[in-house]
Structure 1
Amino acid sequence: MISFRSFSLLILSFAALARAQTSIPAAAAPGDSSAEKILNLDSFVVTAGLDRKTAFELAQGTSILAGDELRRRAAATLGATLAATPGLSGTAFGPSASRPIIRGLGGERVRMLENGVGSLDASNVSPDHNVSVEPLLIERIEVLRGPATLLYGSSAVGGVVNIIDNRIPSAAPNAPFGGLAEFRYESAANERTGVFATGAGSNRFAVQVNGARTTTDDVAIPDYADPEHPSDRGTLPNSARSTSSASLGATAFGAAGTFGAAVSAYDTLYGVPVGEPIAIDLEQRRLDLRGELTRPFAFFKSAKLRVGVADYTHSEVDLDSGDINTTFKNQAYEGRLELIQQESGNLTGTVGYQIARSDFSAVGAEVVTPPSVTQSHALFAVESFKVNPALNFQFGGRYEFQSIRLGEVDEDLPAYPGYAARTGQKNTDHGLSVSAGAVYYPAKDYSLGLSLAYSQRLPAAVELFSNGPHGGTGSYEIGTTGLDHENSLGLDLTLRKRAGFVTGSAGVFVHQIDNFIFEQRDERRYFDDATGDLRNYPVPAGDEYLPVYQFVARDALFYGAEAEVQFHLIDAPGQRLHLSLLGDLVRAEQTTDDQALPRIPPARLGLGLGYEHGRWSLGTEVRHSFKQTRFTPEETETDAYTLVGIHALYRFADRGPGHPGLEVFARGDNLTDADARLATSFLKAIAPLPGRSFTVGARLSF
């Protein structure tokens, strides 16, 4: 149960934001992390689809992580990088695999994008599959909360995370040649990382080369990994990783528009700390194309084309024998055409078309899902109508068609109620999503956003056709072939303030989801490892078995609140002191019987203090996660914990705006060596977060 005290603190934050007096902040200094964070409300949100709309002007909840704040929070995984953002958590399947969760919704319900195109990996299929992206090469992350994300897919009922980098140069360079190099060391995992990014070109052509390499040992933890089996203390077994990534891109700039392309490679080998010596050997090869026509035509002032093509493979390897247990492959592409309308009176907007295809297969000893080809087509539109200077309406719709065709289905699969997959079976479906919202400006530098969205999420192949053992989750997973749409009705209310002594945002939300699909444990049957059969409980003594989980649909309700507020105690040229307060909470339950849903994050509160003076930047933060007392019968309870961190940065010389020259940085995390276990993790009972750690590094811009 969420405590009244934690809820009250969030409401007080909201009230402080609403009561704050308005004034104009000092201009942002180059590289000033606090100023960057304040001005993020005035940053254009590429992911929104509405031409030149800022976070301050959007109806739905939006977060932007960029600049010094992003570089400071960059971690091994995207989930860990975004962990301190209100409303976001991660799957935390060990230190090397963590996918973002938005307001308690993850997996298929959170759309992962790279420069506006799907990540085209297998991270949505299982929590032990990492997102194929290098956080240290990211320039900007945009998070759109809630289901009003009509440009990118009906599956995004939780929201969208768009990872933006410069693999395809987006603008002509300011100098003929430039770049950066970074080296860092982290103590908990003995992590050694090197990063480089270089670019060259002219006002007509630009080339960009990026790369990164990371190697770690097993991660240090505060105490026992599994207190019930105290054999490993101080180190999380099988948690080391080695990762390499590289990209080469180029863009041509012309009078009528631009066209660019990039090829990239991502390779990683990381241990999966499930108690067995299993590692994932993952690689992705990817081609991205981006074109933009800036010359007006017909009813449109510009057009944007985005295409991504990827060949993804990962093998689950037995480290003792070197044998490959299972190999997953995903050959996929996604393309989207956006047409930005010319202004017609007070109406602006974007219409478009999206196509996507995924050829997914798994071969080996643990085949959870039969091979399948998923293809989708969609038409979408998002519009904005300015009623008057104080009121703006935003609305849109998306129609999506999806087909799933199965490959060969093993005829010897165990029979199970609700499962009826067969070789060559084709499943076709369609869904409609609509949204409407309003942004009201009650006073200077204030905005109030209200968003109402109805969306239909089409079931994924893994939810319909799974039937097999899954080592990553330690279970036998079974789909339900006849699952219907998920129907989501969501309401979001967000208040923002962008200038003055207090800045930030706070919001509340409620989502009713009919036919919410999740895995529920079968209390009657188990999977017998020795015979490959499904049997009725009890399990004979000494037998090895897996619990059975089936994808089922139940009506569910999600509701909660989130806030991030900054108090600017000192705001003078060359000197800033700001206090940050953040918090979030989400409650999720089945509406028929008020039963908890699995792996829902508990309430959190955070407090931070940042100080900048001259070339110095210093800060500390405390984040408290409350005890999660609502969980399903098969889950373990997670205790409350508090994480304390510090950070410092010094710039030796400036080379002008955006080019800080040489800087050195240091960071300390979990300084109290707290035993922290995430309620959202499948491995919470055996894999805590890293213990006390220190990071030092240097970054050179040239």
Structure 2
Amino acid sequence: MKKMNLSMNIKNIILTTASLVLAVAFNANAASDDSLDDSVLDDSTLNEVTLDNVKITASGQLLNDVAQPIRVLSKEALQEQNGDTMGELLSNLPGISNASFGAGVGRPVIRGLSGNRVKMTINGTDSSDVSAMSSDHAPMVDAANADQIEVIYGPNTLRFGSGAMGGVINMADSRFHEIPLEGFEGQVKSSVSSADSGTNVNANIDAGNGSWAMHLDGFSRNGENFRAGNGETIKNTSTDSQGVNAGLNYIQQNGNAHGIALSMLDYEYGVPNEDDDKAIVDPSQVRFDAQSIVYSLPPVFEQLKTQFTYIDYEHGEGTDGVVVGLFDKTSSELKTTLSLASIGGWQSDIGIQLSQQDLEVCHDHGGCPDIPNYSDLSWDGEQGSNLSNNVIDGFMFSHDTPMPITNTQDIGVFLIMERDWAFGLLELGARYDQRAIEADPVSILPSYRQASDYYDDKTFNSVSLSAALTWRLDKQKLGVSVSRSQRAPVADELYWNGDHHATFSFQLDNPDLDIETAYSLDLTWMYEALDYQLQGTAYYYDFDGYIYNDLKSMTDPFHGNVVYRNEQKDAWFVGTEWQFDYHVNENLQWFIQADFVQARLKEGSNKNLPRTPPLTTSSGIKWQANNWKVTTDVKYYAEQTDVADNESTTADYSVVNFYAAYTQPLQKSSVQLYLKAHNLMDEFGRNHVSYLKEYSPVVGRNVTLGMTYSF
């Protein structure tokens, strides 16, 4: 009932938001004069902006002022991408793949690193969902009304935590205002898509009177089962999503800014599977944020930024209309960053970050009040709980609630320093974290396991260090970054032992996991001439105790599903990313890019790590003139035969994409019509980084028609 009420409330708020935005917009047009505002056309059609003007919202720096490359996708660039999940939106950037799980889930994979090694944040604070726990859990980060998405590497990742070895993905929107706003502005977007008979509508409005500024946005999106490149309709791939965000801000004359925001997000999506069973996952989240930025400080300080977040998350998993799993998580985070005035040429940020997460999981055989325990069946909870009768290859299999109730507390302190030197920029970063995990096994059966030391509390201490240096030469920029990063295991990696119904798999626990340490080297080079630009990156990661989810050769004794277990072994990753842009003339640009990663264990008969992205290359052209913008490209995914034990290979395939947009200026506003065609040649392919590559191939030809009204 709670789920249904939340969904209905969000839909009502979205309709109200869209109506309000349209009403304000049309009133604005009616009151304006007949002159055209050329700046609206420029903002609506141009994606290219100078680096000096692109601000990294998560750190407050300008893009050209960081030593380690940071990629930013603007609002306009996001519209050109295919799909709606974060993994899909970022998958055309070099080095980023999409860990899809049907149409409803897409978590980014950076340089072959996934899960907890890729941290996802909203305006600089943790998304705090359970997407890193399992591949079927959607990240609660939706870009429907995002201003930009930032992919952050190097020392700046230490602002967010010690475990983001792959990088940090920050979604920035307008719920917080730091600059006074006079008047109002907004946008309404709507689109339909062919492969899934999908519809998508979203709207946002910002209004202010100089001192006060408010933000309101909402979206509603749904799609039916999609069609693959071979013409087959893939069952259990329908989606239904809604969300709303509201923010209120007070900006003082001295620049201090204070704001609060409330967000609600509600998803429901199917999970494809071998037997075509009706499997549904329905996460929902309510999020409260508060932010304060203070500039009126003693001269030795420049800025004090404090952020607080409280999140209430839950989701249910069901098969054939019966709820068989519940996940409930509440979390809070407090982060304070103090920016110091320049001392000896050094700009420094000192911060402290505190967070707490309470996680409770219940499955069908645990006898939870909200889930039937099926005690009338031969495989009821009592029988399934007897681990001693279900031992295979030395592993005990549980058929009860899969993990204890856990409380995780993290305390982190960090220091980020930077300064100019004769030829460029130097950045240094250091962070210390302590993680304490308390496990309450009261929900675990049989009771003898509650009294054992199997669920002892655990404490981990980690230290991460990073340094980056750039040389600015004539037409060139060279960079080197080195780091020592540590990541403590999370509660589910340690304790989960049980079915995962939505993935039709069984996950074994590993309470012996310890801290994972990575030593990395990153080399970058950029050459910029009058009419072309070349960028290259090469990287190497050396892991002590790399944690990975290993597919076992056995099946579980209860349902015969595949079995995974988190193992820890030494490993290395090596890869490269390249991009070449050539400006044929002022209207036409040609580009080509490629990325490759190889991931290996250091020991064993088969050293390949699972779900390693294949080599990808892409090439295309961009044309822009007057009110028109057209982009077309082809992306090639090579075959992947370097597979782990019990992992299948994937064949190569290519995807052709097309995008065209026309923008018509109006009175103080503009209308844009656009067409997108993804996989234009209707190619059949399988995404190697997806757990579901056997049951959920890539989407076939998908044509999207859309309209954007900006004012």
Paired amino acid for 1:65: L
- Are 1:218 and 2:251 matched, yes or no? no
Deviation sequence 1:311-363 (CA, Å, 0-9, x none): 00100122x3x321111011011121111110123111211000111111111
1:30 counterpart SS class: helix
Q: Is the 8 A contact 2:404 2:444 kept in 1?
A: no
Q: Which residue of 2 aligns with 1:443?
A: 474
Q: CA deviation at 1:466?
A: 1.3
Q: 1:280 to 1:95 in 2, by over 3 A?
A: same
Q: Which residue of 1 aligns with 2:285?
A: 284
Deviation sequence 1:9-36 (CA, Å, 0-9, x none): xxxxxxxxxxxxxxxxxx9982476x63
Distance 2:417 2:70 in 1: 18
Q: Which residue of 2 aligns with 1:434?
A: 465
Name the structure where helix makes up a greater proportion of residues.
Answer: 2
Q: Which residue of 1 aligns with 2:265?
A: 266
- Mapping 1:203-352, distance limit 5 Å: 203-223=210-230, 234-256=232-254, 257-274=256-273, 275-297=276-298, 299-318=300-319, 320=320, 322-352=321-351
Q: 1:124 to 1:421 in 2, by over 3 A?
A: farther
2:584 counterpart SS class: strand
Deviation sequence 1:137-194 (CA, Å, 0-9, x none): 11100001357611111111111000011122343224x2221111100100111111
Q: Is the 8 A contact 1:421 1:481 kept in 2?
A: no
- Are 1:511 and 2:541 matched, yes or no? yes
2:343 counterpart SS class: coil
- Are 1:666 and 2:665 matched, yes or no? no
- Are 1:550 and 2:603 matched, yes or no? no
Paired amino acid for 1:393: L
Deviation sequence 1:350-383 (CA, Å, 0-9, x none): 1100011111111122743322111101110110
Distance 1:169 1:655 in 2: 26
Q: Which residue of 2 aligns with 1:700?
A: 709
- Mapping 1:392-431, distance limit 5 Å: 392-408=425-441, 411-412=444-445, 422=454, 425-431=456-462
Question: What are structure 2's unaligned runs of at least 5 residues?
Answer: 1-38, 365-399
Q: Is the 8 A contact 2:615 2:637 kept in 1?
A: yes
Q: CA deviation at 1:655?
A: 5.9
Q: Is the 8 A contact 1:57 1:447 kept in 2?
A: no
Distance 1:133 1:420 in 2: 39
- Are 1:151 and 2:181 matched, yes or no? no
Distance 1:329 1:412 in 2: 20
Q: Is the 8 A contact 1:96 1:241 kept in 2?
A: yes
Q: Which residue of 2 aligns with 1:18?
A: none
Q: Which residue of 1 aligns with 2:489?
A: 459
Q: Is the 8 A contact 2:116 2:164 kept in 1?
A: yes
1:383 to 400, 417, 432: 417
Q: 1:29 to 1:450 in 2, by over 3 A?
A: farther
Q: Is the 8 A contact 1:379 1:400 kept in 2?
A: yes
Q: CA deviation at 1:297?
A: 2.1
1:71 to 44, 66, 79: 79
- Are 1:682 and 2:711 matched, yes or no? no
Deviation sequence 1:601-654 (CA, Å, 0-9, x none): 001000010101100111101000100011112211111110001110001116
Q: Is the 8 A contact 2:331 2:355 kept in 1?
A: yes
1:201 to 192, 208, 211: 208
Q: CA deviation at 1:672?
A: 0.8
- Are 1:528 and 2:540 matched, yes or no? no
Q: Is the 8 A contact 1:292 1:304 kept in 2?
A: yes
Deviation sequence 1:248-267 (CA, Å, 0-9, x none): 11110003400011101001
Q: 1:558 to 1:421 in 2, by over 3 A?
A: farther
2:69 to 44, 55, 61: 61
Paired amino acid for 2:549: E
Distance 1:604 1:264 in 2: 37
Q: Which residue of 2 aligns with 1:587?
A: 598
Q: Is the 8 A contact 2:281 2:502 kept in 1?
A: no
Say which is worse superposed, 36-45 or 464-473, in terms of deviation.
Answer: 36-45
Q: CA deviation at 1:548?
A: 2.7
- Are 1:468 and 2:498 matched, yes or no? yes
Q: Which residue of 1 aligns with 2:176?
A: 168
Say which is worse superposed, 582-591 or 294-303, in terms of deviation.
Answer: 294-303
Q: Which residue of 1 aligns with 2:633?
A: 621
Distance 1:271 1:144 in 2: 31
Distance 1:569 1:368 in 2: 59
1:36 counterpart SS class: coil
Deviation sequence 1:428-454 (CA, Å, 0-9, x none): 11100001111110124x321210000
Distance 1:696 1:132 in 2: 26
Q: 1:637 to 1:294 in 2, by over 3 A?
A: same
Deviation sequence 1:529-587 (CA, Å, 0-9, x none): 1xxxxxxxxxxxxxx4123322111101001001222111112xxxx100111110100
Paired amino acid for 2:560: Y
1:44 counterpart SS class: coil
Distance 1:42 1:86 in 2: 22
Paired amino acid for 1:517: I
Paired amino acid for 1:193: N
Q: Is the 8 A contact 2:362 2:402 kept in 1?
A: no
Q: Which residue of 1 aligns with 2:146?
A: 138
2:122 to 96, 104, 114: 114
- Mapping 1:475-514, distance limit 5 Å: 475-497=505-527, 500-503=530-533, 505-514=535-544
Q: Is the 8 A contact 1:197 1:209 kept in 2?
A: yes
Q: Is the 8 A contact 1:280 1:317 kept in 2?
A: yes
Q: 1:239 to 1:64 in 2, by over 3 A?
A: same
Distance 1:332 1:499 in 2: 49
1:599 counterpart SS class: coil
Question: What are structure 1's unaligned runs of at least 5 residues?
Answer: 1-26, 224-232, 530-543
2:88 counterpart SS class: helix
Paired amino acid for 1:604: T
Q: Is the 8 A contact 1:148 1:157 kept in 2?
A: no
Distance 2:197 2:609 in 1: 37
TM-score (norm 2): 0.85
Q: 1:192 to 1:499 in 2, by over 3 A?
A: farther
1:545 counterpart SS class: coil
Q: Is the 8 A contact 2:426 2:468 kept in 1?
A: yes
Q: Which residue of 2 aligns with 1:186?
A: 193
Q: 1:267 to 1:504 in 2, by over 3 A?
A: farther
Paired amino acid for 2:208: G
Q: Is the 8 A contact 1:71 1:136 kept in 2?
A: no
Distance 1:505 1:359 in 2: 43
Q: Which residue of 2 aligns with 1:637?
A: 649
Q: Is the 8 A contact 2:306 2:337 kept in 1?
A: yes
Distance 1:339 1:307 in 2: 15
Distance 1:302 1:41 in 2: 21
Distance 1:580 1:368 in 2: 49
TM-score (norm 1): 0.86
Q: Is the 8 A contact 1:326 1:367 kept in 2?
A: no
2:464 counterpart SS class: strand
1:136 counterpart SS class: coil
Distance 1:138 1:171 in 2: 18
